């Protein structure tokens, strides 16, 4: 990757929550003021904006200003900025060196930074003979396990047959699963295979997954979204066209990646006790939290998550209920969570 892409990616992974403004600037409280002998910024006077393939950076509180353009050197101010963000010294030196090579038109191999979370998201091979469902349909596949996978994904309202894969391979019962590849920048970096139905016994896992550390499902597709729906599960990310953190916790690296996305973040937590920690993370990062009124399913139990809600209400109504029920005030979020727990008994 070019210096431009890696520099922007590095900044986004370390800078923390930003607010998008209509003029294109992304702002937050300045993290440099106290290092420059000024009082702490509490009015979001720091801003960063993409221009001409590079960026401008400015704080109206302490007066710090810097920038960078492709084929330019990394100046002292940019190096100070990266160091203040917490970018490892070794990575700063590598960026400075690669910018020098690029500015002097000296060819270099692709490089990654050791402190980058996404540097560990390396391309892998899928399960053997694994193709999108569209491929198998067009080739008139009538395998009973494939037909069951089609039927099950349809019952879960997973309708995009180009996102869902299948393989006839019997290794680890993959032929009885439907598979979602994990993409990052167009490359497959992992996958999960979900059984087409309930496991036959406790020894058969519902999911078989291979994924890089701190991966976030769906992050490739969020750059132009007004709302970023943050879910716990992968299937919830699929049906909401949002993201899935694939765990009931969000670590600091994941939070920084999510904060780097331009849209408004809305956490849609599962209705269980494990969702409490996710909610505190949302409050800390100033995301909204959704409290949709999904009621109960046919079995009389509360609808737990977005993927279950989509089975009952469909995609549009489920998304509408998430967006319209969002709350950003921290006190109201905690109050609504308590009320939701009492109402639905979890």
Q: Is there a domain that residue 141 lies in?
A: yes
Contact 240/268 with Cβ under 8 angstroms? yes
Looking at 178, 210, 242, which one is the last position of a domain?
A: 210
The residue segments making up the domain with residue 111 are: 3-116
Residues 263, 189, single domain; the answer is no
Is residue 18 in a domain?
yes
Cα three-residue angle 190-194-243, rounded to 5 degrees: 55
Residue 186 pLDDT: 86
Judge contact between 70 and 4, C-beta under 8 A.
yes
What CATH number did the domain enclosing 232 receive?
3.40.1360.10
Residue 192 sits in the same domain as residue 103: no
**124 is a domain residue:** no
- Residue 152 within any structural domain of the chain: yes
How many structural domains is the chain composed of?
Answer: 3
Q: How high does pLDDT run on average in the chain?
A: 92
Structural domain contains residue 126: no
Angle (CA) 333-271-190 rounded to 5° is 105
Same domain, 142 and 182: yes
Are 312 and 225 found together in one domain?
yes
Same domain for 108 and 67, yes or no, is yes
Give yes or no: residues 223 and 332 share one domain. Answer: yes
197 and 236 housed in the same domain: no
DSSP-assigned letters across all residues of 57-110: EEETTT--EEEE-TT----HHHHHHHHHHT--HHHHHHHHHHHHHHHTT-----
Of 116, 145, 161, the one marking the end of a domain is 116
Same structural domain, 275 and 177: no
Judgement on whether residues 177 and 265 belong to the same structural domain of the protein: no
pLDDT at position 19 over 90: no
Question: For residues 69 and 93, what is the distance between their CA atoms, to the nearest angstrom?
Answer: 18
Contact call for residues 58 and 47 (beta carbons, < 8 A): yes
Q: Report yes or no on 125 lying in a domain.
A: no
Q: Which two tokens stand for residue 259?
A: 């904060």
* Whether the predicted pLDDT of 127 surpasses 80: yes
pLDDT digits (tens, 9 = 90+) for 219-250: 988 878 899 999 999 999 999 999 999 989 99
Q: Measure the CA–CA gap between 251 and 237, rounded to whole angstroms.
A: 18
What mean pLDDT do residues 97-112 have? 88
Kindly report which listed range (114-118, 141-145, 185-189, 292-296) carries the lowest average pLDDT score. Answer: 114-118
- pLDDT value of position 120: 82
pLDDT in tens, 43-73: 999 999 999 889 999 999 999 999 999 999 9
Task: Give yes or no for residue 174 having a pLDDT over 70.
Answer: yes
Residue 259, pLDDT score: 86
Q: Same domain for 107 and 16?
A: yes
What pLDDT is recorded for position 1?
65
Tens of pLDDT, residues 179-199: 999 998 889 999 999 999 889
- In this structure, are 225 and 308 located in the same domain? yes
Q: Which two tokens stand for residue 15?
A: 């800078």
**Residue 252 reports pLDDT greater than 90:** no
Q: Among 160, 184, 210, give the residue marking a domain's end.
A: 210
What pLDDT was estimated at residue 86?
87
Same domain, residue pair 266 and 235: yes
């Amino acid at each position: 990757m070019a210096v431009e892409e890696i520099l922007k990616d590095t900044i986004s992974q370390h800078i923390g929550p930003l607010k998008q403004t209509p003029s294109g600037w992304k702002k937050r409280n300045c993290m440099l003021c106290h290092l420059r002998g000024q009082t702490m910024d509490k009015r979001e006077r720091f801003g960063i904006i993409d221009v001409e393939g590079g960026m401008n950076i400015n704080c109206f509180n302490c007066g710090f200003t810097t920038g960078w353009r492709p084929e330019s050197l990394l100046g002292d101010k940019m190096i100070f900025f990266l160091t203040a963000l917490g970018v490892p010294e070794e990575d700063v030196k590598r960026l400075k060196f690669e910018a020098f090579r690029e500015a002097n038109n000296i060819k270099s191999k692709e490089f990654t930074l050791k402190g980058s979370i996404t540097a560990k998201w390396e391309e892998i091979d899928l399960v053997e003979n694994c193709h999108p469902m569209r491929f198998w349909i067009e080739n008139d596949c009538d395998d009973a396990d494939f037909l069951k996978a089609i039927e099950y994904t349809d019952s879960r309202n997973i309708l995009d047959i180009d996102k869902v894969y299948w393989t006839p391979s019997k290794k680890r019962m993959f032929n009885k699963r439907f598979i979602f590849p994990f993409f990052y920048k167009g490359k497959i970096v992992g996958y999960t295979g979900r059984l087409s139905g309930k496991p036959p016994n406790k020894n058969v896992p519902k999911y078989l997954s291979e994924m890089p550390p701190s991966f976030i499902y769906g992050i490739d597709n969020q750059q132009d979204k007004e709302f970023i729906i943050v879910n716990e599960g992968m299937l919830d990310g699929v049906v909401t066209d949002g993201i899935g953190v694939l765990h009931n916790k969000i670590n600091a690296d994941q939070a920084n990646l999510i904060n780097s996305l331009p849209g408004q973040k809305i956490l849609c937590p599962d209705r269980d006790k494990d969702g409490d920690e996710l909610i505190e993370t949302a409050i800390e990062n100033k995301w909204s939290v959704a409290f949709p009124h999904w009621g109960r399913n046919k079995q009389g139990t509360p609808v737990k998550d977005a993927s279950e809600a989509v089975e009952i209400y469909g995609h549009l109504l489920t998304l509408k209920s998430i967006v319209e029920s969002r709350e950003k005030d921290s006190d109201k979020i905690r109050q609504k969570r308590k009320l939701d727990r009492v109402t639905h008994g979890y």
